Amino acid sequence: MLKLSCNATDKLQTLFSHSHQPDPAHRRTVSSVSCSHLRKPVLDPLRATVSADQGSVIRAEQGLGTLADQLRLGSLTEDGLSYKEKFIVRSYEVGSNKTATVETVANLLQEVGCNHAQSVGFSTDGFATTPTMRKLHLIWVTARMHIEIYKYPAWGDVVEIETWCQSEGRIGTRRDWILKDVATGEVTGRATRFPFHHFFSFLDCKWVMMNQDTRRLQKVSDDVRDEYLVFCPKELRLAFPEENNRSLKKIPKLEDPAQYSMIGLKPRRADLDMNLHVNNVTYIGWVLESIPQEIVDTHELQVITLDYRRECQQDDVVDSLTTTTSEIGGTNGSASSGAQGQNDSQFLHLLRLSGDGQEINRGTTLWRKKPSNL
């Protein structure tokens, strides 16, 4: 027998009770029916809805309906300026220690960001593109990704992720995330994504969008900015409000010879995203390939910062270089934690093309000793 959570049951009951209303506005009505008042098995109305209204199912499969919105465990917050969604950590999203990998966390961040964009009416066929961006064939470009994880969720844990975006001056945007353990309410991680101009100001580089056809970078126009600013907090809200935090630090370039390396990495076809370039999360995996095994065995990743400097194509061959470092300062950890621990290890990273050595990414990672129970 199929068992559904109370939350999922309420959402299904709402969907079924309004699926035949003639007025489309009624489809968005929220039901107050609780699980204790449901008299019929969930599967009966589900079959009835599918058989009686095949048209709505087809529209949902084509991305034109609201079936996914009805079943997704996420929604805009009351003020409409941020978005929260819950996720269950699945078996294929954990590593050997039965906790989620950093790639899993990064994928969830990307997912909730895209769902936020869809919830306010932005594109479903690209990553959060506005109507003007779609008209001009523009896509967003990530320049820096910074993730801090204070406690990794385990298999079966439920994680809530809140995200919001906001203007960075007049030429860019940033997106922030906060991760919480639903069972305890504890903040287990934070993340932020910067546009190019924020941390490349020393190069006077002010680009945050790319033309999908020419692959050239472009400034954010007033038309695009006006489209998304209405959904941004009016006052600055930062996932990392601390002064001197690590997300703001300039990353020095790793120079040869590197202490550790993994040569000849190649993108798989599955690594390409819907914008036809290597997905941002793939670079994280490449960086971690050159971490020494003794660190992987005894430590877990706490902080990763990546600067994206070049687009990677499917036919490129990539080298991953890593060296220990103590140059990257700044505060880290949860709001209640202190500075870097004595047993922590810090590394400097470089991804480059194998042939001509062009820089793809530079990054840093901070690793803490694994808990004794792992």
Do the beta carbons of residue 364 and residue 349 sit within 8 Å? yes
The catalytically annotated residue of 146, 277, 299, 349 is: 277
Closest CA to 291 of 344, 341, 332, 349: 349
Phi/psi of residue 364, each to 5°? -135, 150
What gap in Å lies between CA 179 and CA 97, rounded to an integer? 20
Give the H or E element holding residue 286.
helix 280-289
Q: How far is CA 319 from the centre of its chain?
A: 25
Q: How far is CA 38 from the centre of its chain?
A: 36
Joined together, the tokens standing for residue 330 give 């700044």
Joined together, the tokens standing for residue 6 give 């109370």
The catalytically annotated residue of 312, 332, 349, 361 is: 312
- DSSP of 75-95, one letter per residue? EE-TTSS-EEEEEEPPGGGB-
The catalytically annotated residue of 18, 97, 205, 275 is: 275
Any idea how long the chain is? 374
> Is residue 277 among the annotated active site residues?
yes
Joined together, the tokens standing for residue 172 give 């860019």
Name the maximum alpha-carbon separation found in the chain. Answer: 70
Do the beta carbons of residue 286 and residue 265 sit within 8 Å? yes
Joined together, the tokens standing for residue 79 give 């003020």
Helix, coil or strand: residue 139: strand
Sort 296 into a burial class: Cβ within 10 Å, 0-12 / 13-18 / 19+. middle
Peptide bond into 24 cis (omega under 30): no
> Is residue 165 among the annotated active site residues?
no
> Is residue 275 among the annotated active site residues?
yes
Kindly give, in sequence order, each residue whose CB lies less than 8 Å from that of residue 90, ignoring residues fewer than 6 positions away: 155
Token pair 């690209």 is found at: 126
What gap in Å lies between CA 57 and CA 226, rounded to an integer? 34
Catalytically active residues are: 275, 277, 312
